[in-house]
Structures are given as C-alpha cells and as structure tokens.
Amino acid sequence: MAKTKAQKASSVDESNFDQALAAWMAPHYLRYERGWFWFAAVFTICGGLATYGYLTGSIAMAVLFAIVPLVLMLEHLKKPEAIPVVISPYGIRFGELRIPYSNIRRFWILHHPPYLDELHLLTNSRVHPEITIQLMGTDAALLRGYLITQALEWEGKRLSSMDTLVRILRLT
C-alpha cells in the first residue's frame, strides 16, 4: 500500500532526528535520595492531617492524607527510566518526543552543584511547555555553542523559586 505525502514527510522527519551531532542517555526525571528522616516527617505530617480530617468529619481529607505517604513510598521505589537524547541538525529528540528547533522558544543551561548540568527548553507546545534534560556529563559549553545557532538563549536564567523549593523538600 502506498504512503500518503504526510506519512512520507513524517517518516523523513523522524529519521532526520536520529542524525546525531551529540547523543547520550538521560534519566526521565531527576530523583532525589530520601533518608529515613524525610519519610518519618512525611508520615507524621500526613498522619496528623488524616487524623484532623477524620475528627472534623472530612472523610475525603482523611483518606487522601492516609494514601499520600503510600503513593510517595511506591514512587520512591520506582527508578527513573533512562531515555536517549539526540541533538540533530533538525531538532532535539528526548525519547519519543521530537522537538524541531522552530518549536523551541528559548533554551538555557543550568549549572548548579551538587546537581548535574541541565538543559532547559521552553517550547511552543501546550503539552510540554518546559522540558528539562539532564546533561549527564555532556560538554555543556559545546552544546550551548551549537544550540545558540539554532534557538534563542535565555541568558542569566536561574532555577524558579518553585523548583528550588522542590529540591529543598526533595519532592520529586
């Protein structure tokens, strides 16, 4: 059966994203190690809120705060999946997600020890407006030098206060 023009164009576009100028494996998300104190604090706070919900007759609140620590524990046991990242002449592929340079509004690279360097992409997508990719030791200066020829850089961009709070509380 013959392919339509749209199918041919999409198959060409998909293979173009595999022409690697740079490639590496990165975790799908950054995972923080949490100690026993973190889990004890979460269980205590959620236990108190669940008790408060029960005593005030808010069964939904009681059930929610009884389930939250269990969900966090199960999520902590799951390891982040390693995803291939490919920087090509046509765009960036992050797993199955293909982002043409024309869809990248801005990019910035964050360097903030003790964490690994991160590439942040602000895209036109409503589904994935901001994408964070761990560089995993990839040369950030070389990557920046190429990306600046393809998209606008957001110079001086820092972690948002919400991201900073998440990292302090180790929520992800």
Q: What are phi and psi of 162, to 5 degrees?
A: -70, -45
Contact 86, 23 (CB under 8 A): yes
Domain final position from 22, 49, 77 = 77
Structural domain for 48, as ranges: 36-77
Model confidence pLDDT, tens digit, residues 3-13: 444 444 444 45
Kindly state whether residues 93 and 164 are assigned to the same domain: yes
Q: Distance between CA atoms of 8 and 24, rounded to whole angstroms?
A: 28
Model confidence pLDDT, tens digit, residues 76-111: 888 888 999 999 999 999 988 899 999 999 999 988
Domain final position from 51, 77, 103 = 77
| Token couple for 78 | 């799951």
Domain final position from 19, 48, 77 = 77
Q: Distance between CA atoms of 75 and 68, rounded to whole angstroms?
A: 10
Kindly state whether residues 70 and 98 are assigned to the same domain: no
* pLDDT band (50, 70, 90) for residue 16: confident
Kindly state whether residues 62 and 104 are assigned to the same domain: no
Share of the chain above pLDDT 70, in %: 87
Kindly state whether residues 157 and 101 are assigned to the same domain: yes
- Residue 146 CB contacts under 8 Å (≥ 6 apart), including other chains: 21, 22, 87
pTM: 0.68
In a domain, 94, yes or no: yes
Q: How many structural domains compose the chain? A: 2
Kindly state whether residues 125 and 54 are assigned to the same domain: no
Amino acid at 56: T
| Bridging pattern class, strands 91-94 and 82-87 | antiparallel
In a domain, 93, yes or no: yes
In a domain, 117, yes or no: yes
In a domain, 7, yes or no: no
In a domain, 145, yes or no: yes
* pLDDT band (50, 70, 90) for residue 145: very high
pLDDT given at position 115: 67
Kindly state whether residues 122 and 154 are assigned to the same domain: yes
Kindly state whether residues 58 and 103 are assigned to the same domain: no
Question: Which CATH number belongs to the domain containing residue 126 in this structure?
Answer: 2.40.50
* pLDDT band (50, 70, 90) for residue 114: low
